A = this chain, B = another copy of it.
Amino acid sequence: MDTHGGNIYRIERDYNIKKEDILDFSSNINPLGLPPELKQTLIKNIDKIKNYPDPDYADLTQNIARYNNIDPETIVPGNGAAELIYLLPRVFKPQRALIIAPCFSEYALSLKHTGTEINYFKLNEEDFKINLKKILKEISKNYDLIYICSPNNPTGTFTNINIVQELLFCAQNKNTLFIIDESFIEFIEGWRERSSMKLAPAYHNLFIIRSFTKFFAIPGLRLGYCINFNREFIRKIKSIKEPWTVNILADLSSKILLNNSVYAENSLALIKKEKQFLIGSLKKIEQLKTYDSETNFILVKILCGTKSYELKEKLLKQNILIRDASNFAYLDDSFIRLAVKDRKSNRMLIHCIKKIFTRTP
C-alpha cells in the first residue's frame, strides 16, 4: 500500500510496467502538463545551478506577493508544500490539534514528530461537507492548531469563505492557530474570490499553505509557500527554517508560472470539461457512488463489494494506476480517488472500469 499517489517508481518495480507507460490517475496533477514557456526558461537558465539560491528568496517572494496582491513580508517559500506542513508544527509546538478528516495524511504524520495530541473532526460520508454548528462546538474545546484542507484532498469538497471566517473568528477567540491547505485552490473557478487569502489580513491566526506542484504540473521541481500576517510568527518561522531549501530552478520558475494567465485559463477550461465528462460517465456506473468535486480529482465509493485494492490491481493490468483511498482517515477499502485527465485517458479509464464491473457479477 502506498502512502501517496503518483508512486510510478514502485509500480515499475513491483508490476514490471514501464513508468512511461503508466496512465496515472493516482496523482492530482494538471492534465494540461508543463507550461511550455517553463521548459524553455529552465533550459535557458540551467547554468544557474552553479550558484546558491538567494537565501532571502527576494525575487521568489516578490513574485508570489504580486500574484496574491499581498506584502512579501507575509510569505515563507518552501521545498514543496510538504516542507511547510512539517515546519509549522515544529515552530509552534502545538499540544492539541484538530484535523478535519478525511484529508491529506501528512498533517497527522508531521504532528507525530512534535508529540502533539491529534484529534479528528469526522466529515459525514454522505457528502463530506462541514456541519457548521457541530464544528463550532468542537473548536470551542481549546485546540492549539486546527487543519482544514480546502479544496479537500481526497473528497474534492470546498469550504466556503463565510464558513471559514466563522471558524477563524471562533479559533481566534481561543488563541487557536488555523492552517488552511489551499494546494488545489487554483483548480477552482473564480478561486481568487473564493480563497481564504482575503481573510488573512484580519485573522493573524491564519496560515495559508499553497503549492505550485499540482496546478503547474511540476511535482518534481518542489515549490510551495505559506502565508501569515503576523510579523512575529513569520520571524519565528524564518528563524527555525533551514537555509536554501528551495532549489534555484524552482526559485526562478515562479516568474514565468505566476504570470501565465493563458495557461491558467486553458487549465480551468480543460478541467471543467473533463470533470463533467468523467463525473457524468462515472455516475452512470451503478456499482459506484461518485462524489461531486470542486477541484481536479474525484472521490468514488465502490458499492458492489469489490475492494479498492482489487480494482486497483485489475486496472493495473491495463496500465492504469488509480489511488486506493483506503488509508485516508475515516475512509475504508471501498474508496478510490481519480485525477481528472485528458479525454483520451478519461475514456480509457471509464472503458476499463465498465468492463471490470460488467465481468464481476
Q: Measuring CB to CB, which residues of chain A are less than 8 angstroms from any residue of chain B?
A: 3-4, 6-10, 13, 19, 27, 29, 33-34, 39, 42-43, 46-56, 58, 79-80, 82-83, 86, 90, 106, 110, 113, 217-222, 240, 242-245, 247-250
> What's the number of copies of this chain in the assembled complex?
2
A106 touches B243 (CB 8 A): yes
B54 touches A46 (CB 8 A): no
Min C-beta distance of A339 to chain B, whole Å: 13
A–B pairs, 21, beta carbons within 8 Å: A3-B55, A3-B243, A4-B52, A4-B243, A9-B55, A9-B56, A10-B56, A29-B50, A34-B47, A42-B49, A48-B220, A49-B218, A49-B221, A52-B220, A53-B222, A80-B244, A82-B242, A86-B242, A247-B247, A247-B249, A247-B250
Residue of B6, B43, B56 near A51 (CB, 8 A) is B6
Contacts of A249 in B (CB 8 A): 220-221, 247, 249
Q: Give Cα distance in the complex from A9 to B243, angstroms.
A: 14
Min C-beta distance of A291 to chain B, whole Å: 24
A82 touches B244 (CB 8 A): yes
Q: Give Cα distance in the complex from A51 to B217, angstroms.
A: 8
A55 touches B4 (CB 8 A): yes
A46 touches B39 (CB 8 A): yes
Interface centre among A3, A49, A110 (most CB of B within 10 A): A49
Residue of B10, B47, B245 near A39 (CB, 8 A) is B47
A7 touches B52 (CB 8 A): yes
Contacts of A4 in B (CB 8 A): 52, 55, 243
Q: Give Cα distance in the complex from A247 to B245, angstroms.
A: 10
Contacts of A83 in B (CB 8 A): 242, 245
B7 touches A220 (CB 8 A): no
Q: From known contacts A106-B243, A113-B240, infer whether A220 and B82 are also in contact, taking CB-CB under 8 Å.
A: no
Residue of B34, B79, B250 near A245 (CB, 8 A) is B79
Which residue on chain B has the smallest CB distance to residue A38?
B49
Residue of B9, B46, B222 near A58 (CB, 8 A) is B9
Q: Give Cα distance in the complex from A46 to B90, angstroms.
A: 33
Residue of B9, B39, B245, B248 near A54 (CB, 8 A) is B9
B8 touches A51 (CB 8 A): yes
Q: Give Cα distance in the complex from A54 to B19, angstroms.
A: 11
B58 touches A220 (CB 8 A): no
Min C-beta distance of A243 to chain B, whole Å: 6
Contacts of A53 in B (CB 8 A): 219-220, 222
Contacts of A248 in B (CB 8 A): 220-221
